[in-house]
């Protein structure tokens, strides 16, 4: 009887923890390009790292842990914003992905299916391929745009260059 009671409490505790974790998990916010434009123009002391990705893009998913690792390094003084390019009707799928991959960076789902109307506004050299990352030093105005998968240590070096 005591073993069954312990098992019951263990299951109840685990279920409560899972419920609380899901209830406090990071969620994507659906935005239009004007919200992204405000981020691109934000004046701040922090380096802005804006990464464009999608759940269906294998190289994008592969580099997310590098971005999360950078997000956890507060001494780099960088703000990570992940711009998801899945369709807005896939918001639940994106949010499940965020929970499953334990993503803590800010995630915005960009609800703009006419890519040609905004890609050049992010960077004129961008062909539209993802993953893509824009790094901005708002203080100096220096920018670096990469249209490729990031490798270990590469982003930290680029941030250091822009400081």
Q: Where are the domains of the chain?
A: 26-162
pTM of the model: 0.83
In this predicted structure, what is the pLDDT of residue 75? 81
Higher-confidence residue of 17 and 73: namely: 73
In this predicted structure, what is the pLDDT of residue 25? 58
Separation between Cα atoms, residue 150 and residue 144, nearest integer Å: 13
**Which fold, 26-162?**
Glutaredoxin (3.40.30)
Task: Give per-residue pLDDT as tens, 7-60.
Answer: 433 443 344 334 434 444 589 999 999 999 999 998 889 999 999 999 999 999
Task: Give per-residue pLDDT as tens, 136-145.
Answer: 999 999 999 9
The SS3 call for residue 136 is strand
């Amino acid at each position: 009887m005591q073993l069954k009671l312990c098992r019951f409490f263990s299951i109840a505790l685990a279920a409560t923890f899972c419920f609380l974790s899901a209830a406090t998990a990071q969620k994507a916010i659906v935005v239009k390009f004007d919200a992204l434009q405000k981020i691109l123009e934000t004046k701040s002391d922090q380096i802005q790292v804006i990464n464009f990705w999608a759940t269906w893009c294998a190289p994008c998913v592969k580099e997310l842990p590098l971005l999360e690792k950078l997000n956890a390094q507060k001494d780099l003084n960088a703000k990570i914003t992940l711009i998801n390019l899945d369709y807005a009707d896939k918001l639940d799928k994106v949010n499940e992905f965020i929970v499953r991959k334990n993503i803590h960076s800010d995630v915005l789902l960009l609800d703009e299916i006419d890519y040609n109307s905004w890609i050049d506004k992010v960077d004129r050299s961008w062909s539209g391929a993802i993953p893509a990352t824009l790094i901005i030093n708002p203080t100096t105005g220096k920018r670096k745009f990469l249209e490729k998968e990031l490798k270990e240590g590469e982003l930290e070096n680029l941030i250091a260059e822009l400081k």
